A = this chain, B = another copy of it.
Amino acid sequence: MDTKHRILNEALTLFSEKGYANVYVSDIAEKVGIKAPSLYKHYKSKRAIFDAIIEEMNSKFSEQAKALSVNGTSAGADAELYKNMSEEHLLKLGREFFLFFLHDDYNRKFRKMLTIEQFGNPELAETYMNMYVDMPLSYQGMLLGMLVQSGFLKTDNVQVMTLHFYAPIYMLLTVCDRDPSREEETLKLLDEHIKQFNRVYGRTKE
């Protein structure tokens, strides 16, 4: 990886741990293995490094969004997938979602950084909300909607059902972000959550 990208990565790591203002350009430089002034051969200022991270992030994010909405449009194909769902599948769905967000390095760091910086910057607040609230709700709403169609789940209100599915995932995610040592405990709770969700919304014999 070239220096320019290494700078971005190390900076993201540091920003996510301490916040923009508490990271010195010399910290970033040190992690990269160069001296602070050399950074300026690659970026015009500290702010520019931050902005580059955001930009990179936005493009990754919109790729993802595009990919999702493509699948969403070809609902026919996806519906097949969700036609004969089992509790196992549902567990897997929630767990994968959770673990992806939790462990994917880039996501994790980016999420932390956003959490710290969002209040000073309305755009970042919007990004955060898109990534961790609105998008997941609409994506999962779509999936769960299919499961209702296919008769695997039953509800009058898909939106609220989706909230019931996702909000605990979100909350447990924020717990792990703050205290990684609670991951195990949290994963158990996550499984129980999904099982109970299924018990409660699953179309048992009627």
| Interface of A toward B, CB cutoff 8 Å | 16-19, 21-22, 112, 115-116, 118-120, 125-126, 128-129, 133, 155-157, 159-161, 163-164, 166-168, 170-171, 174-175, 178-179, 189, 192-193, 196-197, 200-201
Contacts and interface: CB of A to CB of B under 8 A. Distances in A.
A112 to B, nearest CB: 6
Contact of A164 (B128, B156, B168): B168
Contact of A161 (B16, B128, B156, B196): B196
A174 B132 CA distance: 11
A-B residue pairs, 10 tightest by C-beta: A21-B21, A167-B167, A167-B168, A167-B171, A125-B178, A160-B196, A160-B192, A200-B200, A163-B168, A170-B171
A192 B174 CA distance: 24
A22 B125 contact: no
A189 B159 contact: yes
Contact of A178 (B118, B159, B166, B168): B118
Contacts of A170: 167, 171
B129 A175 contact: yes
A189 B167 contact: no
A60 to B, nearest CB: 21
Given A21-B19, A21-B22, A178-B128, A171 B119 contact: no
A179 B112 contact: no
A128 B21 CA distance: 21
A177 to B, nearest CB: 8
Nearest to A18: B120
Contacts of A178: 118-119, 125, 128-129
A116 B19 contact: yes
